[in-house]
Amino acid sequence: MHATPTPSSSSVACTVNGRAVALEVAPQTLLLDALRDQLGLKGAKRSCDIQVCGACTVLVDGAPVSACTYLAVEAGSREIQTVEGLADGETLHALQEAFIEHGAIQCGFCTSGMLLTAAALLEEDPAPTRERILHYLRGNLCRCTGYQKIIDAIAACAKPAPSPYPLPLGGGEGFRHGGASSQPSNPSPPSGERVG
Ligand code: FES
Ligand code: FES
């Protein structure tokens, strides 16, 4: 759906959830209004309207922004992602699955912003600590105060960081510094010296 151009409006070409779109926007049109009113994408919510709560969060070129204070004209040639673009068809994003599994949704008003902010974090840092998750979410408020479950859900999607000391084939049990496996092909000498 496209708005009717007015003398002061301009066409802004951008990509929204992987689809090329042209938004007809006035200089003062906010991205939140363009997404909700022109494209019918209602996932981003209006709440504080002053870039405090994060309910309106969308990703612009992968970075979380408050769409309530972001001018639509600034979206030209950029890639916008809203919560509607998070799932792959009928398949939910891992974060969406985790939010459901951990009961990280109450009224749901903050959820789209939480999900997109978390997606940006995991893209930037696939193995964030709980402290990092909490810090990264500082711009997203949950009025239902379900923070622990939200953090649990995001932490469940974090991939463990690869070990700087790869274990030998056959598992880690019995691993000893120096590279001797738990079942060396040559039995250890009685003195306890390293084999090989
Ligand atoms: S509505 Fe945009 S930050 Fe609160
Ligand atoms: S679930 Fe209600 S505001 Fe977060």
Contact between 72 and 28 under an 8 Å Cβ cutoff? The reply is no
Domain 10-157 sits in CATH 3.10.20.70: no
Question: pLDDT at position 162, please?
Answer: 72
Res 184 pLDDT > 90: no
Rounded distance between C-alpha atoms, residue 93 and residue 196, angstroms: 48
Question: pLDDT at position 185, please?
Answer: 37
Res 125 pLDDT > 80: yes
Provide the pairing of β-strand 57-60 with 19-25: unpaired
Res 72 pLDDT > 50: yes
More confident residue, 6 or 27: 27
Q: What percent of the chain has pLDDT over 90?
A: 77
E strand segments, the chain: 10-16, 19-25, 57-60, 63-66, 79-81
How far apart are the CA of 54 and the centre of ligand 1, in A?
A: 5
Which of these, 68, 133, 131, 53, lies nearest to 95 by C-alpha position?
133
How far apart are the CA of 43 and the centre of ligand 1, in A?
A: 13
Residue 165 burial (C-beta neighbours within 10 Å; 0-12, 13-18, 19+): exposed
- Residues within a 6 A CB radius of ligand 1: 46-49, 51-56, 66, 68
Domain ranges of the chain: 10-157
Please indicate whether residue 23, judged by its CB atom, sits closer than 6 Å to ligand 2: no
Q: Which ligand is nearest to the CA of 51?
A: 1
Evaluate if pTM is beyond 0.85: no
What's the mean pLDDT in 122-147?
Answer: 97
Q: Which ligand is nearest to the CA of 139?
A: 1
